Structure 1
Amino acid sequence: MQESKRQKQVAGLLNEEMNAIFQKLGLSMIGGGMVSISGVKVTPDLLEARFYLSFFQIDDKESALKKIEDRHHEIKKELTASVRHQLRSMPVLKFFADDTLDHVFKMEEIFRKIEEDRKNNG
């Protein structure tokens, strides 16, 4: 099902505000690596917001995700304060690791091997 205009607006707002909050709370840099929000999806009823986090040069992604989830209350408090005039109610925040970059790197490696095999065989 396609996202409604309102879902996209709310997702954009939450993405923008959450990036600022991550910077403010020091969550954009964890363990020498970088954390960024790769996407936000909001349910049609606007009651749940799913944040997809991309981890760059972080070995233990589960640990980094846990650090963010441990500060969930603090994050939600900051976000509520910053969007209180734009949203009637605050959606439930859920965080997920976005493994799209991992898949991209794996696919690039597979294509590189195929190309090498082609050069060697023919």
Structure 2
Amino acid sequence: MEESKRQKQVARLIQEEITPIFQKHGLNMIQGGMVSISKIMVTPDLLEARIHLSFFKITDTKAVMSLIKEKMGELRRDLGNKLRHQLRRIPELQFFEDDTLDHVSKIEDLLNKIKNEQ
């Protein structure tokens, strides 16, 4: 099912506001690596935002995810302060690990392996 126009607008709005909040809480640079928000999807009722995070040069992603989930209340409160005049209800935040970069690197490794064998 394709996202509605309003879902996309709310997702874009959350993306614009959550990035500086991540920087404020020091969640964008952890363990010498970088955390970035790759995509945000909002449910049709606009009550839940699913935030997909990509990790660059971070070895223990589970620890970083648990740290982010510990600060979820603070993140949602700060987001609510920023968006209180634009949204009636601030969506619940859910964080997921985006493993797209892992898939890309695996595919590149396989292609390089095939190329070297020929």
Q: TM-score, normalised by structure 1?
A: 0.95
CA–CA separation in structure 2 for the residues paired with 1:96 and 1:53 = 6
Equivalent runs, 1:90-101 vs 2, <5 Å: 90-101=90-101
2:29 equivalent to 1:29: yes
CA–CA separation in structure 2 for the residues paired with 1:103 and 1:16 = 27
Equivalent runs, 1:30-49 vs 2, <5 Å: 30-49=30-49
Please identify the structure whose Cα radius of gyration is greater.
1
Q: CA deviation at 1:35?
A: 0.3
Q: Tell me the secondary structure at the aligned position of residue 79 of structure 2.
A: helix
Q: Tell me the secondary structure at the aligned position of residue 96 of structure 2.
A: strand
CA–CA separation in structure 1 for the residues paired with 2:77 and 2:65 = 18
Gaps of 5+ in 1: none
Alignment RMSD: 0.6
Q: Tell me the secondary structure at the aligned position of residue 44 of structure 1.
A: coil
Aligned to 2:16: 16
Q: TM-score, normalised by structure 2?
A: 0.98
Aligned to 1:117: 117
Aligned to 2:104: 104
What is the one-letter code of the residue matched to 1:64?
V
Q: CA deviation at 1:22?
A: 0.4
CA–CA separation in structure 2 for the residues paired with 1:108 and 1:7 = 34
CA–CA separation in structure 2 for the residues paired with 1:47 and 1:27 = 24
Q: In the TM superposition, what whole-angstrom CA distance separates every residue of 1:16-70 from its partner, at most 9, and x where no partner exists?
A: 1110100111110111110000000001111110000001000000000111001
Give runs of ≥4 in structure 1 deviating > 2 Å.
none
CA–CA separation in structure 2 for the residues paired with 1:75 and 1:106 = 33
Identity of aligned residues (%): 56
Aligned to 1:88: 88
